[in-house]
Structure 1
Amino acid sequence: MTPRRWRLRRARAVLACGLVLGIGVSSTLAAWNDSEYGGATFTAGTFNIQGATDGATFSQHATAPAAATLSFAVPAVASAMSPGDAVYALFSVKTVNPSMAGAVQLRANASNNAGLGAYLTYSVRTISQTTCNAANFAAGTALAGLAAGSPLTVGSTSTQALSANGANQVNYCFEVTLPAGTPTAAQGTTLTAAWEFTATSG
């Protein structure tokens, strides 16, 4: 074999080795891999309301036995009403902190027509102040379904907005009246009335 032919075979052999080596490197690169992960933690929010009879001292009254006692103005009149008398009381509602936002609706107890309740009428309005009297009631915003002279068993058909985390409060001003012309059969009767403020998150 001539030296020239021998060198050519050797060059071809080196080239062949280079091709094999290149295939091996390509196979190794294809085996590399990597991953990324995404995740999150989820927690349910809370919704809760509280009430106050003075517009400032809020606490929770979550059951009928724990109901707040409305402080009607002129207690002497409220405890011995005569035909034509009207008395007023405040009840304020807001969300606790923390709490999501929602809406609240006034509902009346079906047993509010017992005893003196058969003769009494009422209405409720929202007011911007925390003093509930005849003047502020007259300037307030009426609740749908609660016109003057409504029976105590009738609730409101509208809702009032509650901001999250107690950022606002809704002040309800109650006006309860013993109408003029109430018969003498009402004398000496009593009533322990109850209303519920049902709230829904939203």
Structure 2
Amino acid sequence: MSTTRQASRKSRKIAAIAAGILVVGVGATYTLASWNDAEWVWGGADGDPNVGTSSFNVQQNASAPFTTTGWGDFETNPGDELTFTAGSLTLTPGDTIYAPVALQTSADSVAGTVQLQGAVAATGITVSDTGGSLWSAIRATVHTATGATPPAACTAAGAGNAGWTTLVTNAPLNTVGNATQTLAADAGSVQHYCFALTLPAGSPDTLQGRTIAPAWEFAATSN
């Protein structure tokens, strides 16, 4: 084979390889030059998040006359202090003492319902009632009403008058309220409660000098 013919074949082979490279190169160039685009969306409203959960929060006020101040959260036992009428630490048989409290949702809360639970011992409070005799003897009555103000004062003269509904009637301290109450959203309603505790007439002398500290829970559920 002549030197000229070998050179010709070698040239054709180089040309073929170069052509292959050119094809691959064209393909690669085409891929790198393709256009890319993307579209995104997010759960927003006027620049703020637009997906989230509601809030449910009930507040209480144990300081009559239940104005716009005095509302707060007391979510664990023993909670806020009920202010009973005079003589609450010097009961004699036949005496009854009274204390009010009001509930409402907070300003950014959804609506819900609430039910009074039976009393339990206040956490962390030292009492003097060996054997629980005074606790067992005391009888509770609880009234409720809805409105900006209660229908009557939570006193001997006012408790149980027209407008009040009775949830617990002369029952042991651990008695649960017999109905639920509705709380409107966004502090839209006030639910009043009047607690009356009685040391029954005829209670034995062995109950002298004792103290107890009952604590009640208002169990609330959002609508």
> What TM-score comes out, normalization by structure 2 length?
0.67
Name the CA distance, whole Å, in 1 between partners of 2:155 and 2:83. 12
2:81 matches 1:87: no
For residue 39 of structure 1, report the CA deviation from its aligned partner.
Answer: 7.3
Match for residue 49 of structure 1 among 58, 66, 74 = 58
RMSD across aligned positions (CA): 2.2
Q: Does 1:97 align with 2:107?
A: yes
Partner of 2:205: 184
Q: Unpaired runs of 5+ in structure 1?
A: 1-36
- State the match for 1:138 in structure 2: 160
- Shift in CA distance, 93/195, structure 1 to aligned 2, threshold 3 Å: same
TM-score scaled to structure 1, two decimals?
A: 0.73
Q: Which protein has the bigger helix share? A: 1
Q: Give secondary structure in 2 for the equivalent of 1:138.
A: coil
Contact map agreement 2:62 2:80 (CA 8 A) in 1: yes
One-letter identity of the residue aligned with 1:45: S
8 Å Cα contact 1:105/1:197 also seen in 2? yes
Alignment partner, residue 194 of structure 1: 215
Q: Which runs of 5+ in 2 are unaligned?
A: 1-39, 44-49, 123-130
- The equivalent position to 1:64 in structure 2, one of 61, 67, 77, is 77
Q: Which amino acid aligns with 2:178?
A: T
Q: Share of identical aligned residues, percent?
A: 32
Q: Is the 8 A contact 1:96 1:165 kept in 2?
A: yes
2-structure distance, mates of 1:111, 1:153:
10
CA contact (8 A) 1:115 1:190 kept: no
In 2 relative to 1, CA 152–126 (structure 1 residues): closer, same or farther, beyond 3 Å?
A: same
Matched with 1:29 is none
**Structure 1 CA distance, aligned partners of 2:119 and 2:166?**
20
Aligned to 1:172: 193
1:114 match: 132
Contact 2:160 2:166 in 1 (8 A): no
**Amino acid in structure 1 at the alignment position of 2:172:** P
Q: Give the deviation of 1:153 after TM superposition.
A: 1.0
Tell me by how many angstroms 1:115 deviates: 4.6
C-alpha separation between the residues in 1 aligned to 2:142 and 2:175?
11
Output the amino acid matched with 2:220.
A
Paired with 2:140 and 2:56, the residues of 1 have a C-alpha distance of: 30
